[in-house]
Amino acid sequence: MASLDWSQCPAVESIPGKRSGAWVFKDTRMPVSTVFENLESGATIDEIMEWFHVTREQVVAVLEFAARSLDAPTPVQPPSKRRMLILFDNGIPAPLRYALKGHTVVEAIERGWDTLANGELLAVAEAAGFEVLLTTDKNMRYQQNLKGRKIVFVVLGTRNGRSCAGTLKGSLSPLMRPCRAATPKWTSLSGNAPRSVS
């Protein structure tokens, strides 16, 4: 938070004499830092909206600004690296797409797939050419017959999403290799400790 140049974010302001000059949402006394502190503690965006009387647009604006600001410059990819087509299931924070620059990220809701059952989602995702599915559904691999599936699954923890954003790019790297149809790959990311799931 302290290292970000909030003067470049139009959704916030810092005024001497208002909250001791802390960065607050524009035309309010609500500190921006409160949003991040509560998200880190496991609160949802909806809970933050209810508790602190901010709008979804305000919260998303600062999250997207922080994600863009913290995202390191994308290194030049060697010729062997492929651009992957990645699907975000509902529950995956949209700003995480900034950790995957160089790949094509689509949210399920953008395709109208946000109401599909798990099996239907997997079928349409593979038919559309998606190679990686990011989800928070830890039970999907137990509920579905994965034999013959080609898509790579990454299960993301629902808490500490900012830490996951920091490790997501590196954690996906070994999964970017094509996987055998009979052996779908799973990785679970929880906080800062990614681990493989067989």
195 forms beta bridges with 188
CA dist 186 and 194 (Å) reads: 11
Domain ranges of the chain: 6-70, 85-197
Are the C-beta atoms of residues 154 and 136 closer than 8 Å to each other?
no
Mean of the pLDDT values across residues 118-122? 87
pLDDT score recorded for residue 77: 52
- Predicted local distance difference test score (pLDDT) of residue 63: 92
Q: Report whether 12 contacts 24 (CB < 8 A).
A: yes
Decide: 120 and 140 in contact? Cβ < 8 Å: no
User: What mean pLDDT do residues 136-151 have?
Assistant: 77
pLDDT digits (tens, 9 = 90+) for 26-63: 999 999 999 999 998 899 999 999 999 999 999 999 99
Mean per-residue pLDDT, 127-149: 81
- The architecture CATH gives domain 6-70: Orthogonal Bundle (1.10)
Range list of β-strands (E), the chain: 12-13, 24-25, 85-88, 104-107, 132-135, 152-156, 186-190, 193-197
Residue 4's Cα: distance from chain center in Å?
19
Residue type, 64: E
pLDDT at 49: 93
The pLDDT of residue 159 is above 80 = no
Instruction: Examine the pLDDT at 12 and tell me if it is beyond 90.
Output: yes
Most confident segment among 72-76, 148-152, 154-158, 175-179: 148-152
**Count of CB atoms within 10 A of residue 52's CB?**
17
